[in-house]
Chain A
Amino acid sequence: GAGVSQTPSNKVTEKGKYVELRCDPISGHTALYWYRQSLGQGPEFLIYFQGTGAADDSGLPNDRFFAVRPEGSVSTLKIQRTERGDSAVYLCASSEWARTEAFFGQGTRLTVV
């Protein structure tokens, strides 16, 4: 594809439910990032993949958050037992390799009610 694709673009879920957010990076990009952006804030780092492995997951706020990238391409961010405080725009980005320009998707707006 031409750019980073994130699905769904919007997700409304009830408190306590499980959600999955998908990111399809630019073909050939080995690095993939997840960020969370709350209203009026900058993107907050969650996790970074180099290939299939999570190179840095220090930004995941707690053990309800988990992300995978099993084949080194598509990634899924999984949130268990969602809370209202999880409401935000979740951004995915990819780059050719670490420390090069990151290309961002449009984001998934998650609303927990």
Chain B
Amino acid sequence: AQSVTQLGSHVSVSEGALVLLRCNYSSSVPPYLFWYVQYPNQGLQLLLKYTSAATLVKGINGFEAEFKKSETSFHLTKPSAHMSDAAEYFCAVNTNRDDKIIFGKGTRLHILP
């Protein structure tokens, strides 16, 4: 069965510093992978997705993620954090054998001034 593990339920970075949110997946078939963001009191919004094309995926708001099959990882990065990036981030996986999208438990990103 497919699953997603997000390392670190809370991550704090200084404004202007690199953001790195970790996601590892488990899937017996090639996965589709997603990162969603949830701002306070708002719905989930797609940041970016990997669907077996380029392994480096660029998303909105300067975020990007790299699919590494050998490491079963899909970590999310942003070179320079902004205060507006403070939110909850969810990694999710979906395969062509199982149509449902499975989410990780989420990582809350805190930006320090």
Contacts and interface: CB of A to CB of B under 8 A. Distances in A.
Interface string A82-113: 00000000010100001101111111000000
B106 A41 contact: yes
B101 A102 contact: yes
A50 interface: yes
Interface residues of A, number: 26
A38 to B, nearest CB: 10
Chain B contact-residue range equals: 20 to 34
A45 B101 CA distance: 7
A35 B101 CA distance: 10
A1 interface: no
Interface in B58-113: 90, 94-96, 98-106
A42 B105 contact: yes
A59 interface: yes
Contacts of A102: 46, 101
A43 interface: yes
24 contacts: A33-B101, A35-B103, A40-B9, A41-B106, A42-B6, A42-B90, A42-B103, A42-B104, A43-B44, A43-B90, A45-B100, A45-B102, A45-B103, A55-B99, A56-B98, A59-B100, A91-B43, A99-B32, A99-B95, A99-B99, A101-B34, A101-B49, A104-B44, A106-B43
